[in-house]
Structure 1
């Protein structure tokens, strides 16, 4: 009975986080605030379903699923990294070309056209 309650609680928690993450993705106003919702939906929503499945299989079927454990660990490791990369891409995309450093520094995306007027920049 305790294991069934645990599996049920994990599934309900995963459903709530999935719903809140989907709602936040649709309703939050801009990219940076919208980024937080699907990350939580992925880690806690899908992770909750996978952990509930692992508990169910181990307790009721006498089988431990390493595949689900690996998927859960992969999600917990990659979701924050993906969110960080999306946030950095958004910050670079929102930057105006005249605020970026010259191409000789190795930073930024703007470059000078050597043959044209140095005040004109082109983007790669």
Structure 2
């Protein structure tokens, strides 16, 4: 199961790097979200993937019995999902405002909207 997860993480990272190198802000955004999901899978897999073994403590015991899943990576992934959703919402709002003002999401065309040092000169 861990080897399959490692392959999936590798594919997600490769796809995210490919998308982030594209000259479109929207593709960069999709690549960023894929990279976030790949990092979540790495954190989740680091806590051992055990089937049918929740981290529950039986009544009267002070620790779980047997092999159980680690609850810390699960809590970290849950927090990372919420942070990733906030990042997605912010960057979508940023992309919407950039498109509304500049009428493009291509990064090279957005660069021409930057102010030039020294006043009214045009870019070469």
**Structure 1 stretches of 4+ moved >6 Å:** none
Greater percentage in helix: 1
User: What is the root-mean-square deviation of aligned Cα atoms in Å?
Assistant: 2.7
Aligned-pair CA distance for 1:63: 5.5
* Residue among 69, 75, 81 paired with 1:76: 81
C-alpha offsets along residues 79-119 of structure 1, whole Å, 9 cap, x if unaligned?
132122112123224444xxxxxxxxxxxxxxxxxxxxxxx
Count of residue pairs brought into register by the alignment = 89
Greater percentage in strand: 1
Structure 2 unaligned regions, length at least 5: 54-65, 102-124
TM-score normalised by structure 2 residue count: 0.58
Please name the residue that 1:25 is paired with.
20
More contact order relative to length (CA 8 Å, sep ≥ 6): 2
TM-score normalised by structure 1 residue count: 0.58
C-alpha offsets along residues 1-51 of structure 1, whole Å, 9 cap, x if unaligned?
xxxxx011111111210121122111x2221222011102211x1122122
